[in-house]
């Protein structure tokens, strides 16, 4: 039985769906070549399979080049107050090495999931998770700018939700308009 969202988390989720900050992913604009940061939770393996389908595009005809980084909490580890300084440094170093080895990859996908055990362990709610998600995008953008990396031109932010009873959905999340 999965950990389910609390009533407050579900209300926030519903509000974000209603105002469009959580929305269906658009396959046409989804990157086909990306560095993916997601949780290492083996029960969420289908989230990677779904991301690969999104990357293949609406006609499943694009070549995909996923290069993924998985750890407890996924992209949230990029934020020092969640993953610590060493966690952040390790993932940033791995990303920089990846960019050097895979210059044809032009995007980053950041995808935490709800409900995440690493998040629950820290007693964080969905709002805190989404704020950390926003900070993880800011971290990536800052690193790309500081290092003058121009091959990576997009950062895509999604969230994988487990609603229980085998109902799951990956949604695009507008982190830039979330406070």
Q: Which residue has the tokens 């579900």?
A: 10
For the cut 60, the answer to whether the pLDDT of residue 1 exceeds it is no
Task: Report domain extents, the chain.
Answer: 7-17+32-57+70-177
For the cut 80, the answer to whether the pLDDT of residue 150 exceeds it is yes
Q: Which fold has domain 7-17+32-57+70-177?
A: Beta-carbonic Anhydrase; Chain A (3.40.1050)
Task: Convert the pLDDT of each residue in 64-80 to its tens digit.
Answer: 999 999 999 999 999 99
Q: What is the pLDDT of residue 69?
A: 95
Q: What is the pLDDT of residue 62?
A: 95
Average pLDDT over residues 131-159: 97
Q: What is the pLDDT of residue 98?
A: 97
For the cut 60, the answer to whether the pLDDT of residue 170 exceeds it is yes
> Is 45 in a helix, a strand, or coil?
helix
Query: 40: closest CA among 71, 82, 67, 66?
Result: 71
What's the predicted TM-score (pTM) here? Answer: 0.94
Residue 117 near residue 72, CB atoms below 8 Å? yes
Q: What is the pLDDT of residue 47?
A: 82
Task: Convert the pLDDT of each residue in 16-31 to its tens digit.
Answer: 999 999 999 999 999 9
Q: What is the pLDDT of residue 68?
A: 93
For the cut 90, the answer to whether the pLDDT of residue 179 exceeds it is no
Query: 158: closest CA among 12, 37, 57?
Result: 37
CA distance 176 to 16: 13
Least confident residue range of 33-42, 99-108, 151-160 = 33-42
Q: What is the pLDDT of residue 44?
A: 77
Q: What is the pLDDT of residue 36?
A: 96
CA distance 155 to 143: 12
At 108, list the tokens: 């980053």
Task: Convert the pLDDT of each residue in 83-136 to its tens digit.
Answer: 999 999 999 999 999 999 999 999 999 999 888 888 889 999 999 999 999 999
């Amino acid at each position: 039985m999965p950990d389910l969202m609390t009533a407050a988390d579900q209300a926030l989720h519903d509000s974000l769906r209603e105002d469009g900050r959580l929305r269906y992913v658009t396959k046409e604009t989804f990157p086909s070549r990306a560095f993916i940061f997601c949780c290492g939770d083996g029960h969420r393996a289908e989230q990677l399979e779904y991301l690969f389908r999104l990357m293949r595009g609406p006609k499943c005809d694009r070549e995909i080049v996923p290069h993924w980084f998985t750890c407890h909490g996924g992209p949230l580890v990029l934020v020092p107050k969640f993953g610590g300084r060493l966690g952040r440094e390790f993932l940033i170093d791995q990303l920089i090495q990846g960019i050097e080895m895979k210059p044809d990859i032009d995007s980053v996908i950041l995808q935490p999931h709800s409900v995440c055990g690493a998040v629950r362990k820290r007693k964080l709610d969905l709002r805190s998770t989404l704020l950390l998600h926003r900070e993880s995008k800011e971290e990536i953008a800052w690193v790309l700018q500081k290092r003058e990396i121009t091959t990576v031109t997009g950062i895509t932010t999604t969230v994988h939700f487990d609603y229980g009873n085998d109902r799951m959905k990956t949604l695009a999340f507008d982190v830039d308009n979330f406070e």
